[in-house]
Amino acid sequence: MPVPGPHTLADDTLDRVAAGDQDAFTALYDALAPAVHGTALAVLRDPDHAAEVTQEVMVEIWRTADRYDRRLGSPRTWATTMAHRRAIDRVRSVQSQRTRDQAALDRDRPIDYDHVSEQVEGRLEAERLRHCMDGLTDTQRESVTLAYYGGLSYREVAEDLGAALPTIKSRIRDGLIRLRDCLGVTR
């Protein structure tokens, strides 16, 4: 990952977790829970909902560590992806209306990348992300933000902005490619 943090995980941590090693899991929890919780909180905005998602995801990691496929990314990517997906599912099932209202608010209020973070690596990463986000066009940034943080599908983004579907798909795609290249993310 771009900025290794103080909680750099040993390569075999997940293997040990898959074999049922509770100490290894505790280390894994401490390393990954902030990213998981931060993701859930960014999407859900509600601390209780976010805490529930974090708990679900971390227990799920313990139970499915033997299915983790390193070819699809680092443990952190795996955990964060799971957190985002669950948060989005919650948004779509429980709070779709609220989210739409929230998305409307988000359009008028830039995302706060200075979100208080207790983690040095989080601050560094937030700084990098802000820098890279600045490299997107306004429309790319808007589409990516509405989708990732606002929980809107690309169809909803298109509807919301009164733009054509292919346009929004391209904005999301081009935006993510720019971010990927700027962040130096390889996997």
Q: Which of 4, 20, 110, 135 binds another protein (CB under 8 A)?
A: 20
Nearer to another protein, 20 or 105 (CB): 20
Q: Which of 37, 49, 90, 141 binds another protein (CB under 8 A)?
A: 37
- Closest contact distance (angstroms) between CB of 140 and another protein is 11
8 Å CB contact between 145 and 137: no
Residues 66-95 within binding reach of another protein (CB under 8 A): 66-74, 76-77, 80-81, 83-85, 88
Q: Does residue 159 interact with another protein by CB under 8 A?
A: yes
- Closest contact distance (angstroms) between CB of 68 and another protein is 8
Rounded to the nearest angstrom, the gap between the alpha carbon of residue 153 and the centroid of all alpha carbons in its chain is 15
- Closest contact distance (angstroms) between CB of 82 and another protein is 10
Q: Which of 95, 126, 139, 167 binds another protein (CB under 8 A)?
A: 126
Part in contact with another protein (CB under 8 A); list of ranges 93-101, 102-110, 175-183: 175-183
Write the DSSP symbol of residue 116: -
Encode 124-134: b = buried (16+ Cβ within 10 Å), e = exposed.
ebbebbeebbe
Cα separation, 136 vs 59, whole angstroms? 36
Cα separation, 144 vs 40, whole angstroms? 16
Q: Which two tokens stand for residue 90?
A: 């919650």
Terminal Cα-to-Cα distance of the chain (whole angstroms) = 8
